[in-house]
Amino acid sequence: MKPLRLSLAVPILTLATLAPTSSLSAQEEDGISLAIRFTDGTSRFHVGEVIPVELSFKAPIPDTYDMEMRNYDRSGRLNIEQFHVTPPGRDPLERYYSIGGFMGGGLGGSRALSNEPQTMREDLNEWVALDKPGHYSLYVTSDRVTRRTQGKDEPVPLRSNSLEFDVVAADAAWQQQTLSTAVSTLSMASGTDGEKTSALRVLRFLDTPASVHELVLRLGTQGDRSEWNEVAGLSGSGYQNLVVRELEQQMSAPDVALTSSYLSILAKLKLQLDHEPLPPYPQKDTKRQKIWNERMHAQDEDLKGLQDGLYEKAAAMVSMKRGRARAETVQTLLLRPSREPGDVKPLAGLPAEEVAAAFLNLSQDQQWGLLMSFWERLKDPAMMAPLKKVVEQPNMNHQMLRDLALHCLYDLDPSEATPVFLAEIRNPHLDNGMFTVKGESLGLLPNETLPQFDEMLAARIEQKESRTMGLDAQLIGRYSTKAILPRIRSIYDTAAARWDCVIEDGFVLYFLRVDPDYGVKRLALAPSFCMTNSLPTVIKMHRWSEVEPGIIAWLNGSDLNRARQAAETLAKYGGAQAGKAMWERLRKFHEQWSERGNELVMGPGIRNDANEAVSFQFGLVEAIGKAQAWLLTNEEITELENLTLGQERDNVKQWHWSSPVNLNVSFFGDKIMANINQYTTMDLASLKAKLAQYPSGTKLWLNIFGAPERVVPIRAAITDIAAEHGFEVAEPEK
């Protein structure tokens, strides 16, 4: 089986076209085939009944074809299969996907095809709504299968056999029984997630006034689970006016949470009722393209207006809500999309006490999401109490929430947070048997050392199989005094340079503080750039020149994993000497593997040495191409391209550049993220240094996104560096 892979995210603009069928069954090249059948063995269905179809793939030649096993998409619909029905039905989600942008893609994996069939189940209703009784035929086309070829897999389009089936009218008794069974399953406390998902899909496809009512109620009370079946069922319903009325009527219900999905789908459906569908995009007529784009822009602006109005209405209804519905409605308001860069406060000025109380009613996932993405909206002294309650919980299922809550506490009031930090150092929480607070976070205190913890930390780290070893090593590196140096060296020397990165970094940082010569010596034997505290420290000590030769030695060693770590470290911190060593190492690698370059392709059956070589070459080439200390000329990029073997060479081709150079700047938490060609920098100093490497006369095309108070100083800094080096800066018109 191939490893998981991430499918590229692409906007979904159109859906499958329902084409006429043929009675021919599919027998593709070399006997590879796709066969379909109705899962339950019947060919007679009611209007609104789920029509399950089983797809069966097989290939008689082993180890030649792979089948994509992914069965979901972030957009809600996976476009690998197309379902062709005659007479055509309607695509229930065509309007839904025509309004607003959607991102596809997601995690997936492949499986080798053989003569043993690989089967998947799909519901025809997902693609085609058959609202009228009649006799129909169906065939399926699929792009799931690829043929393994050297360098790149080739798609193998498949077409299935055809099936004949009948759809009969659904009487009131059948509809009521189907509805009752689904609702009963959803109400059962003992029901499994799979059973409840199936019941929701029954409601979604049943599409009666009663099922619409149930979907609206469940959309507002769904809690943490996915809302997709409710959203898709309401969007694809043939009763759009009824859906809008139900959504509007239930907004004021005390136990219905006004989630972002609730408000979003209501805004979309209201827009659909008031606007004619846009025609297909005119591919070849530039005049009509302009008109089409203007209509699309006007439609988007109308949608934003509808959304804003619904958010304002939701804010006015908070006082009517109770319990979880109230908390989730407040969360929706906090997560409201920003229309202006500086829009960080909750809509309608919700009282801070209301926000704080609602925060504690949210799930741990929801709490983490709010703190991570919208802390500026929450930042108020009233949040001190709920954050302390979060931090003091004895055991958490969310492994990142406690650490983030501590950060927010310290940001609110360092003096109030300090006792909480000291308590956490003294007694670290172990959530599911793991410490969940980073040493980096507990290192925020201003104290140079905390001698009162020396004995405790030394004793804890001496314990065999200590579950807080990583945390304690970091705390020792940050706060411990020289008094415990002999004990710490004794522990460290038992596995010097073989600790994991977090522990190694903590130990070495401690040595750099209390025994600098020993610390420098040890750092030279730890070539990974993940020594995030030790490496910057040794540079501040002006002793990098003592460390670099040892890291270069690892670069040229036989351990390719360590060699890749060394290359990545040299790219981040090294200078001209490091660059020379990396080029020399790549030339040696090229010479060693040039006659076996066709083996450097990831896939089933790859040899261990080739697998290691692929990983090493990737790290080394990326390090040379993206290093902080130098800018590759186009001639150097060409040389790098010629020295690179296998698939990685295609990446290098894209690094050739010319003026104007795109400079994209955005903000990620408290950091900036700037992208220039293949280079990425995460702080202003690195950005200035990288820009200074470009030749005089370079034109920068600047795209910068963020709140004005953050954008202004960054733009000024870029303007200053441009003036100093003779650059021209241009920005898109706003």
pLDDT averaged over the chain? 87
Q: What is the pTM of this model?
A: 0.66
Rounded to whole angstroms, how far apart are CA atoms 552 and 548? 6
- Convert the pLDDT of each residue in 40-76 to its tens digit: 889 999 999 999 999 999 998 888 888 888 776 545 5
Note whether 405 and 360 are within 8 A (CB): no
pLDDT of residue 22: 35
pLDDT of residue 13: 33
- Convert the pLDDT of each residue in 438-475 to its tens digit: 899 999 999 999 999 999 999 999 998 888 899 999 99
pLDDT of residue 425: 95
What would be the CATH architecture of the domain defined by 5-168? Sandwich (2.60)
- Convert the pLDDT of each residue in 260-294 to its tens digit: 889 999 999 999 898 888 888 888 888 898 998 89
Share of the chain above pLDDT 70, in %: 91
Nearest residue to 334 via CA among 383, 272, 295: 383
Only one residue has tokens 């020792």, namely 476
- Residue 68 tokens read as 């994509």
The residue ranges of every structural domain in the chain are 5-168, 172-320, 543-655, 661-730
Rounded to whole angstroms, how far apart are CA atoms 404 and 372? 7
Rounded to whole angstroms, how far apart are CA atoms 511 and 485? 8
pLDDT interval class at 4 (50, 70, 90): very low
Buried b (16+ CB within 10 A) or exposed e, 344-380: eebbeebeeebbbbbbebbbbebbbbbbeebbebbbe
Q: Pick 361 or 545 by higher pLDDT.
A: 545
- Convert the pLDDT of each residue in 568-578 to its tens digit: 999 999 999 99
Q: What are the helix (H) ranges across 379-449?
A: 384-392, 401-412, 414-426, 439-442
Q: State the average pLDDT over residues 233-257.
A: 93
pLDDT of residue 74: 47
For the cut 90, the answer to whether the pLDDT of residue 540 exceeds it is yes
pLDDT of residue 108: 58
pLDDT of residue 73: 54
- Residue 436 tokens read as 């969940």
pLDDT of residue 592: 93
pLDDT of residue 5: 34
For the ranges 73-87, 195-209, 217-231, 515-529, the maximum mean pLDDT occurs at: 195-209
For the ranges 118-122, 135-139, 378-382, the maximum mean pLDDT occurs at: 135-139
- Convert the pLDDT of each residue in 399-440 to its tens digit: 899 999 999 999 999 999 999 999 999 999 888 877 788 899
What are the C-alpha distances in Å from 125 to residues 110, 195, 232, 315, 450? Answer: 26, 18, 11, 37, 65
